[in-house]
Structure formats: C-alpha cells, structure tokens
Amino acid sequence: MKDLRRYLVLKYVQYLVLSSTNTISTLLGLLGSLYTLIILQSAKVSSKSTAVLISSLAKADLLVLVGVVSEVAVRTFGVGVSSTTFASALLQNLLTANTHISCLLLSCVAFEAYLITFLPTESRQLRTVRNARLTARIIWVLVTVECALFQADDLLKATGTSAPTRSPCVLLFYFSSSAATLLRSLSYFLGIILRIVNVFFYYKIFFSMSNRSRLKTK
C-alpha cells in the first residue's frame, strides 16, 4: 500500500501540480504505472474500489505508449506527409486523453478518500468494486469520444476542406470540429475545477487527521 500511495503522489504531481507534462515526468509516470500494474497482480493487494481506480489509472498510460509507438513507426518507415501529420496529431490527442482520464480518476480517488474519512459507514454501499469499475468505464468511454472528436478535427484541418457541401461525411466533420473546439475550451476550465476540488478534499482530510492525532496525544 505504501508503494501505491507513492504512485498516487507521483500522478498527482504529474497531472494536477505541474502545469504541463514533460518527457521526464511522462517517463517516470510510465515506469510507475508498469510497477503498479505488477503490484496489483499480487495476492497481498485486496480487490477494493480504490485498487480498481488505481488499476485503471495505470492502464491509462498505455495510451501514451500507443501514441509514441505509432509516431515512431511512421517516422521510421518514412511514409507520406499526411500519415506523419496524422500520427503526430494522434500522439498529441492520446496524450490529452491520458491526461484527462488520469485527472478524472485521481479526482475519484480523492473523493473516495474523503468519503472514507468523513462518511465511512454511510458511503459503504457507494464505495463498491462494481461502482468503481462502472465509473472507470464511463470515464474511458467519454474521453475516447473526446479523443475521436479531436482527431477528426485535426484531420479536417489537415485536409483543408473549406468548400461548402451537403455531403453527410463533410457535415459530420464540421460538427466534430465545432464539438472539438468547445471541448478544448471546456477542458481547460474543467482542469482548474478538478485542481480546486482535489485541494479541498485533501485539505479537509489533512486537518481531520491532524485533529485526531492531537486528541490522541492529549
């Protein structure tokens, strides 16, 4: 459990403290996720809702690997410029999806820690493995749709389609472009809100634990 706590601290720093990810933090995150997935296979780790959320958090780094491998493969085999542009956009969108999934899952972990601290009995029926898996699936589905919209928007910009047409495919691309623009704007504000919410949760937990320790020492 100590290793899992260290992993959570690493992820909080990577996604909710640092303004943007960099190569070093991404590499450390990948190594931490690999180590965490190995730990979660151990029989010593009980199957609880927190473990389910942490497992999904670690698996989110697979998106980074997929994006990096795809871009390296495209650049290595020297395919066309359009494929290179597509791979670069895919890498960026997968990195964005990884960030959004991780931030949402970390917020779920913080919320669960808050419930355990202040409402342990009342929230017991809510903090189940089934609900944790359902929550993780919903997050993955929503972010996957977001990633697809971003990729479609990048493809539309790369092709430079500007002539008005009533083709359903082109209209669909324009719709995805508008939706992607809106999502990019909302994701910035959502990131700020998640940071504030996480700080609030751990602020309350920290002072609650501090007060309990003071009462024990008296």
pLDDT digits (tens, 9 = 90+) for 44-92: 777 889 999 999 999 999 998 888 888 777 777 755 556 677 778 888 8
Q: What average pLDDT score do residues 185-197 get?
A: 89
How many domains is the chain partitioned into structurally? 1
pTM, whole model, 2 decimals?
Answer: 0.87
What pLDDT is attached to residue 32?
94
Q: What average pLDDT score do residues 172-188 get?
A: 80
What pLDDT is attached to residue 83?
67
Decide if 218 is inside a domain: no
pLDDT in tens, 91-122: 889 999 999 999 999 999 999 999 999 999 99
What pLDDT is attached to residue 216?
65
What pLDDT is attached to residue 72?
77
Distance CA 190, CA 179 (A): 16
Decide if 56 is inside a domain: yes
Q: What is the CATH number of the domain that holds 67?
A: 1.20.1070.10
Spatial neighbors of 141 by CB under 8 A, at least 6 apart, are none
Decide if 8 is inside a domain: yes
Decide if 156 is inside a domain: yes
State which residues form the domain around 81.
2-213
Distance CA 66, CA 144 (A): 14
Half-sphere exposure of 127 (CA within 13 A, CB side): 20
